[in-house]
Amino acid sequence: MPKITVLRLGHRFERDARLTSHVALAARALGADEIVIADVIDERLKKTVDEISINWGGRFEVKMGIPWREFVKDWQSKGGEVIHLTMYGQPLSGAINNIRRSIKDKLIVIGATKVPGEIYRIADYNLAVSSQPHSECSALAIFLHELFQGRELEKKFSGAKIKVVPQEKEKRIVRLR
């Protein structure tokens, strides 16, 4: 299984903290292996996501402060492909089968602020889940769902301390250790 990394561009501490947290949690829950917050370090965000991984299980890494150009060039030099999610790209439905068949590690690029034009040129794929305005969190979730063909919804998270017991009409959480 290829490695799946999400690269978040343009994180602004005050404005994007909650949405970037949601992006990281969606990435973790839906099958990504790690998230890289480019160019900045936000220790509160890292602590939040790390604590969720500790309590809810699984392996998910948060990396920060890495210059995005350096990270993308290194990714490509190691043979990985770059998938940029943008409403301006080609339809996801037309490319997803090729992406699924590829054994290359996948770097999924999403923005917070305006994405540099350079990303459009260096990406292997510029994909749109919709050509209408939408959030990067929804684009990421839909992309991962399509990539994994729904199997991510059955993912088991090893080492969890907390687990939800699905119920029809109430909330039930159990402590495992």
Q: Is the pLDDT of residue 14 over 90?
A: no
State pTM to two decimals. 0.94
Cβ proximity of 42 and 62 under 8 Å: no
68-100 b/e with 16+ CB inside 10 Å = b?
A: beebbeebbeeebbbbbbbeebeebeebbeebe
User: Mean per-residue pLDDT for 4-28?
Assistant: 84
Residue 10: predicted pLDDT:
79
SS3 for 52?
Answer: helix
Residue that has been written with the tokens 């900045």 in this structure: 40
| Number of domains comprising the chain | 1
Strand partners, 84: 109, 126
Q: Secondary structure of the chain: what % helix, strand, coil (to 5)?
A: 40, 25, 35
The enclosing domain of 164 has a CATH number of 3.40.1280.10
Cα gap 172→165, rounded to integer Å: 5
Distance CA 64, CA 116 (A): 19
Mean per-residue pLDDT over the chain, rounded: 93
Q: What is the predicted pLDDT for the residue at 103?
A: 97
Question: Residue 33 sits in which domain range?
Answer: 4-175
